[in-house]
Chain A
Amino acid sequence: QQPVQSPQAVILREGEDAVINCSSSKALYSVHWYRQKHGEAPVFLMILLKGGEQKGHDKISASFNEKKQQSSLYLTASQLSYSGTYFCGTENIGQGGKLIFGQGTELSVKP
């Protein structure tokens, strides 16, 4: 079951913040976040494994609410280099090894 991301697209000015949400209809073991720039391969950002876990990666952080089967990616003080498509990937409990990606959120950061 594919997770659902929102919003589908975001346009920001440099320095602004953004939140990307990812939700699943099934119980989750883990949530992964990747960023893909145009014409390139997806690049790993982080994995969240425990309910309520929060992780940070420079000015990009994420939370995972196991009970709500949701994760959010927080981008603070956005930089031009943050532009790209962000994908969440989810692994359902009992389906280890099968990472299913959401439809992606396109983020554009303007000067």
Chain B
Amino acid sequence: DTAVSQTPKYLVTQMGNDKSIKCEQNLGHDTMYWYKQDSKKFLKIMFSYNNKELIINETVPNRFSPKSPDKAHLNLHINSLELGDSAVYFCASSRGQGNTGELFFGEGSRLTVL
């Protein structure tokens, strides 16, 4: 029973397209995150939500729009994809709010923009 699950695991698409990645956690956590890991393995925080409310928006281009319909789900929609968006996107969750506790990561979604 996967704690944090993301779909799809792989996306290959053309520049200019729009794509979405979905994330669900069954841990009962209040906070969810999106991290981007580039080809050099740099893990960069993008967004965090606490109980459906946006807490962190880390100067991400507005082509990226997160949506949290409820505290167990955090989706990421990306418009007008660019080559530089190619990366692995990790969803994560943690208990509580304020300071970050243990992060539970999903398996990642590898996005390739051609």
Task: Place the interface of chain B in its size category.
Answer: 20 to 34
Chain B residues contacting A40 (CB-CB under 8 Å) are 107
The stretch among B19-27, B72-80, B97-105 that forms the contact with chain A is B97-105
Known: A98-B58, A100-B45. 13 other contacts (CB 8 A): A30-B99, A40-B107, A41-B106, A41-B108, A42-B90, A44-B103, A47-B101, A91-B100, A98-B45, A98-B56, A98-B100, A99-B103, A104-B42
Is the Cβ of A47 less than 8 Å from the Cβ of B41?
no
Minimum CB–CB distance from A8 to chain B (whole Å) comes to 11
Q: How far is the CA of A100 from the CA of B58 in the complex (A)?
A: 11
Given A87-B43, A104-B41: A96 and B98 within 8 A (CB)? yes
Q: How far is the CA of A104 from the CA of B40 in the complex (A)?
A: 9
Given A85-B41, A97-B48, A97-B97: A44 and B102 within 8 A (CB)? yes
Q: Enumerate chain B interface residues (CB-CB to A < 8 A).
A: 31, 40-45, 48, 50, 55-56, 58, 90, 97-108
Which applies to chain B's interface (DSSP): helix, strand, loop or mixed? Answer: loop
User: In chain A, what residue has the closest Cβ to B90?
Assistant: A41
Most buried by B among A29, A44, A85, A100: A44
Minimum CB–CB distance from A22 to chain B (whole Å) comes to 14
Q: How far is the CA of A85 from the CA of B40 in the complex (A)?
A: 11
User: In chain B, what residue has the closest Cβ to A39?
Assistant: B108
Minimum CB–CB distance from B90 to chain A (whole Å) comes to 6
Is the Cβ of A47 less than 8 Å from the Cβ of B102?
yes
Most buried by B among A32, A34, A98: A98
Minimum CB–CB distance from A16 to chain B (whole Å) comes to 23
Is the Cβ of A30 less than 8 Å from the Cβ of B105?
no
Q: How far is the CA of A100 from the CA of B103 in the complex (A)?
A: 12
Chain B residues contacting A96 (CB-CB under 8 Å) are 98-100
